[in-house]
Structure formats: C-alpha cells, structure tokens
Amino acid sequence: MFGWLATWFRKRRNAGSTIQADARRLIAHDEGNAYYNAQRLAARARAHGNAGETLRWIRVAAEIARTSRAEMDIERVKQVTDEELDER
C-alpha cells in the first residue's frame, strides 16, 4: 500500500515539473502569446479526443497565468479554441 502511495506522489511531483517546464518554454518562446498557445494546444488535444493531454495543457495555461505577464483575454481564447476545433 505504501509503495503505491509513494509511486503516486512521485508521479504527481514529476507531472508538476513537466507542467512548469512546458510553461517556461512557452513563455521563453513568446511571452505575449504563451497563454494563448497553451490554450491552442489544449483545444487541439480536445479535438483529437485526448483528455489527458487536454488537462495537461490547461494546467500549463494556468501556470503561465500564474507566473508571467502574458496577455489573457477570454474573447481571444474563444477565438483560438474555435480555430482549432474548426481545423478538425
């Protein structure tokens, strides 16, 4: 039982590190559009039916919102999402 719990905590810690690394990479590439790019990737994953990847990119977007000065306009997020869903 404790082995399972330790494994679960290790996976959670590693997932958090990956999310932070993805957020830093998007911010370094284009801080002004980093939030929208993460939302675009989330929409793309959702369009392909990949729930795990969708959640991952939503978490990356939240991390970007928390740690950067990236622009976050809900109307632009809707536009980005619609574009990704229309491409499918």
Closest by Cα among 45, 37, 43, 40 to 70 = 37
pLDDT band for position 7 (cuts 50, 70, 90): confident
pLDDT attached to residue 5: 67
Between CA 69 and CA 52 the distance in angstroms is 27
Write phi, then psi, for 71 (nearest 5 degrees): -70, 140
What pTM did the predictor assign?
0.77
pLDDT digit string (tens) for 14-37?
666 789 999 999 999 999 999 999
Q: How many domains does the chain have?
A: 1
**Residue span of the structural domain in which 24 resides:** 2-87
Which residues fall within 8 angstroms of residue 64, CB to CB, at 6 or more apart?
Answer: 23, 26, 27, 34, 35, 38, 70
Q: When comparing pLDDT for 72 and 24, which is higher? A: 24
Task: Report residue 88's pLDDT band, with 50, 70 and 90 as the boundaries.
Answer: low
**33: exposed, middle or buried (C-beta count within 10 Å: 0-12, 13-18, 19+)?**
middle
